């Protein structure tokens, strides 16, 4: 049963003089991505086009050829680990024989560039402690490289998805964000594998690091680990996502300028500052092009962050299908917590008690005039292109 979520708002952010760090401008991207995979049906109602350079701040991107796309996934046997010719278990994986440069965040704020931990990574809410079930299994099984990764997007609802998925007996996931493919690649696959929980045959190993979606090097690196890796992207209205991102930064640094002043390069001309990570991350179509150079779209699943809140069981059904899992997580696992204003688990993984996400999830957003972004219709062409690429109309416009 879908829920609608009431949302409170409080006062506007204070105007301060300190400048919020902006991400470095990425080099202009080359040609458009390889065509998407076949199959599936498009729910896009109208032909659309959007391309343009991330850095150009143009509000009228150039037309792009239509794509056919399928969000359907490969099925994986529940009992046997998928035979993945390109998949290294990492058990024998040597350290990479080269030292890598730090990954280039396609869109990052200073926090990410400096490698500072996000509040989530520091948060005790990240359930890393072994549950009784985990402890039971801890001595058996073996550590595997992940077969499925939640690669983004930041503030999309990635923690909720991972926590919900962990309820499934055939899913084992690392709690904290490993940041291997963006920050720690030089540590090697063996190091990465060692972070993973032990799994029994038939169980899927997962992790989530939302910054991968906007990291230039991540698609090639994940493909080099295994070209069969399944990729899950939780997406959310890019305007709400930007406000959520800003709210997180504001919670750490209350003296940053207002959202409105950071959004515009020039308020009079309406020129949007796409070098600001909060804006840039939401240009999903642009980031997706990089992934499609390395993965067929059928290997990617796009989860609606909005529906994850309004109908968590419905979205979890799609995710379980995509991962080739039996549909075990259903409506029965969730309840709507009025105080939290979000769906919560009736029983968390390995526990008999109800579990909501912590206070860094579901923050009250400051009052922001959404028209500052809407008026410029900045995201509209990019959203339309994203719907076309994925075959899903997420309904943000
Ligand atoms: N069930 C449930 N409980 C709490 N929060 C939920 C839930 N489902 C989705 N969300 C939304 O998740 C948003 C945070 O997204 P992420 O977990 O991807 O953030 S992060 O990138 O890992 O920091 C978070 O964003 P904010 O509301 O802006 O805090 C929530 O809206």
Give tens-digit pLDDT for 347-377: 987 888 999 999 999 999 998 886 776 655 8
What whole-number distance in Å separates Cα of residue 79 and Cα of residue 306?
A: 32
Query: Which residue range(s) make up the domain with 173?
Result: 142-239+281-364
What is the predicted pLDDT for the residue at 21?
A: 35
- 205 contact partners, CB below 8 Å, separation of at least 6: 143, 144, 145, 146, 147, 148, 172, 173, 196, 197, 199
Digit-coded pLDDT (tens) for 175-222? 999 999 999 999 999 999 999 999 999 999 999 999 999 999 999 999
On the question of pLDDT at 77 being above 50, the answer is no
- Residue 87 CB less than 6 A away from ligand 1: no
- Is 363 part of any known ligand binding site? yes
What whole-number distance in Å separates Cα of residue 110 and Cα of residue 100?
A: 20
**pLDDT-wise least confident of 110-124, 307-321, 371-385:** 110-124
Give the pLDDT band of residue 104 (cuts 50, 70, 90).
Answer: low
Output 368 or 48, whichever has higher pLDDT.
Answer: 368
Q: Classify residue 257: in a domain, yes or no.
A: no
- Residue 343 CB less than 6 A away from ligand 1: yes
The CATH number given to whatever domain includes residue 360 is 3.40.50.300
Q: What is the mean pLDDT of residues 275-296?
A: 97
Give the pLDDT band of residue 331 (cuts 50, 70, 90).
Answer: very high
Mutate to test the pocket of ligand 1, among 2, 246, 259, 361 (most ligand atoms within 8 A of CB): 361
- Residue 210 CB less than 6 A away from ligand 1: yes
CA-proximal residue: ligand 1, atom 28 (nearest): 244
Give the pLDDT band of residue 392 (cuts 50, 70, 90).
Answer: very high
Atom of ligand 1 nearest to the CA of 356: 3
- Residue 197 CB less than 6 A away from ligand 1: no
342: which strand partners?
Answer: 337
What whole-number distance in Å separates Cα of residue 342 and Cα of residue 314?
A: 15
What whole-number distance in Å separates Cα of residue 247 and Cα of residue 228?
A: 36
Stated pTM of the model? 0.73
Q: Classify residue 28: in a domain, yes or no.
A: no
What is the predicted pLDDT for the residue at 349?
A: 79
- Residue 300 CB less than 6 A away from ligand 1: no
Output 78 or 330, whichever has higher pLDDT.
Answer: 330
3-state secondary structure of 10: strand
- Residue 156 CB less than 6 A away from ligand 1: yes
- Does 155 qualify as catalytic in the annotation? yes
Distance from residue 331's CA to the centre of ligand 1 (Å):
19
Mutate to test the pocket of ligand 1, among 157, 165, 239 (most ligand atoms within 8 A of CB): 157
- Is 104 part of any known ligand binding site? no
Atom of ligand 1 nearest to the CA of 361: 29
- Is 11 part of any known ligand binding site? no
Output 318 or 50, whichever has higher pLDDT.
Answer: 318
Q: Classify residue 148: in a domain, yes or no.
A: yes
Distance from residue 154's CA to the centre of ligand 1 (Å):
9
DSSP string, 183-221: T-GGG-HHHHHHHSPEE-TTPEEEEE-GGGGGBTTHHHH
Output 27 or 184, whichever has higher pLDDT.
Answer: 184
- Residue 187 CB less than 6 A away from ligand 1: no
CB 310 within 8 A of CB 4: yes
CB 286 within 8 A of CB 54: yes
What is the predicted pLDDT for the residue at 330?
A: 98
- Is 346 part of any known ligand binding site? no
| Long-range contacts of the stretch 338-343 (C-beta < 8 A, 24+) | 341/5, 341/6, 341/7, 342/5, 342/160, 342/309, 343/3, 343/160, 343/309, 343/312
CB 222 within 8 A of CB 212: yes
Q: Classify residue 29: in a domain, yes or no.
A: no
Query: How many domains are there within the chain?
Result: 1
CB atoms within 10 A of CB 167: 19
Q: Classify residue 45: in a domain, yes or no.
A: no
What is the predicted pLDDT for the residue at 377?
A: 85
Whole-Å CA distances, 141 to 202, 203, 210, 247: 11, 10, 27, 41
Q: What is the mean pLDDT of residues 94-109?
A: 41
How far apart are the two ends of the chain, measured CA to CA in Å?
24
Digit-coded pLDDT (tens) for 181-191? 999 999 999 99
CA-proximal residue: ligand 1, atom 19 (nearest): 155
On the question of pLDDT at 15 being above 60, the answer is no
On the question of pLDDT at 161 being above 80, the answer is yes
Distance from residue 158's CA to the centre of ligand 1 (Å):
7
What is the predicted pLDDT for the residue at 376?
A: 59
Q: Classify residue 88: in a domain, yes or no.
A: no
Q: Name the one residue in this structure whose structure tokens are 């409170």.
A: 8
Output 82 or 298, whichever has higher pLDDT.
Answer: 298
Q: Classify residue 344: in a domain, yes or no.
A: yes
What is the predicted pLDDT for the residue at 257?
A: 94
Distance from residue 248's CA to the centre of ligand 1 (Å):
11
Mutate to test the pocket of ligand 1, among 2, 112, 160, 284 (most ligand atoms within 8 A of CB): 160
Digit-coded pLDDT (tens) for 137-153? 456 899 999 999 999 99
On the question of pLDDT at 60 being above 60, the answer is no
Burial of 281 (0-12, 13-18, 19+ CB in 10 A): buried
Atom of ligand 1 nearest to the CA of 360: 29
- Is 168 part of any known ligand binding site? no
Nearest CA-CA partner of 274 in 81, 63, 95, 26: 26
What whole-number distance in Å separates Cα of residue 222 and Cα of residue 244?
A: 27
On the question of pLDDT at 63 being above 50, the answer is no
Point out the catalytic residue in the list 143, 154, 155, 385: 155
DSSP letter for 25, please. P
Burial of 128 (0-12, 13-18, 19+ CB in 10 A): exposed
3-state secondary structure of 352: coil
Rg (CA), the chain: 20
Output 303 or 264, whichever has higher pLDDT.
Answer: 303
On the question of pLDDT at 85 being above 90, the answer is no
Q: Classify residue 263: in a domain, yes or no.
A: no
3-state secondary structure of 63: coil
Digit-coded pLDDT (tens) for 105-125? 543 332 332 233 344 444 333
Instruction: Please state whether beta strands 264-266 and 271-272 pair in parallel, antiparallel, or not at all (unpaired).
Output: antiparallel
């Amino acid at each position: 049963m879908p829920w609608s979520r009431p949302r409170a708002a409080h006062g506007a952010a204070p105007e301060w003089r300190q400048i919020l760090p902006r991400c470095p401008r990425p080099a202009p991207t080359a040609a458009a991505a390889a065509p998407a995979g076949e199959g599936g049906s498009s729910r896009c109602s109208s032909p659309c086009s959007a391309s343009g350079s991330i850095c150009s701040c143009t509000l009228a991107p150039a037309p792009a050829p239509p794509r056919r796309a399928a969000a359907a996934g490969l099925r994986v046997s529940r009992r046997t680990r998928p035979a993945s010719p390109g998949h290294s278990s990492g058990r024998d994986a040597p350290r990479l024989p080269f030292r890598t440069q730090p990954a280039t965040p396609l869109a990052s704020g200073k926090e990410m560039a400096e490698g500072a931990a996000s509040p989530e990574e520091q948060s005790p809410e990240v359930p890393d402690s072994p549950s009784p079930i985990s402890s039971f299994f801890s001595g058996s099984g073996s550590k595997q490289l992940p077969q499925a990764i939640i690669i983004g997007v930041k503030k999309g609802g990635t923690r909720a998805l991972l926590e919900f998925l962990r309820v499934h007996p055939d899913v084992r996931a690392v709690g904290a964000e490993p940041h291997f493919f963006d920050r720690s690649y030089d540590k090697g696959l063996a190091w990465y594998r060692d972070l993973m929980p032990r799994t029994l045959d038939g169980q899927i190993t997962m992790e989530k690091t939302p910054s991968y979606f906007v990291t230039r090097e991540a698609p090639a690196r994940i493909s080099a680990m295994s070209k069969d890796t399944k990729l899950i992207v939780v997406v959310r209205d890019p305007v709400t996502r930007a406000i959520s991102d800003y709210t997180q930064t504001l919670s750490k640094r209350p003296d940053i300028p207002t959202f409105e002043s950071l959004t515009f390069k020039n308020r009079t001309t309406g020129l949007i500052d796409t070098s600001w990570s909060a804006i840039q991350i939401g240009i999903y179509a642009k980031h997706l092009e990089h992934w499609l150079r390395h993965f067929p779209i059928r290997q990617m699943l796009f989860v609606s962050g909005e529906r994850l809140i309004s109908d968590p069981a419905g979205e979890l059904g799609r995710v379980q299908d995509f991962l080739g899992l039996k549909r075990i997580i259903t409506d029965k696992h969730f309840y709507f917590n009025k105080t939290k204003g979000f769906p919560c688990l009736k029983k968390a993984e390995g526990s008999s008690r109800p579990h909501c996400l912590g206070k860094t999830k579901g923050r009250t957003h400051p009052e922001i005039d959404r028209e500052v972004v809407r008026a410029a219709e900045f995201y509209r062409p990019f959203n339309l292109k994203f719907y076309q690429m994925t075959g899903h109309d997420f309904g943000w416009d």
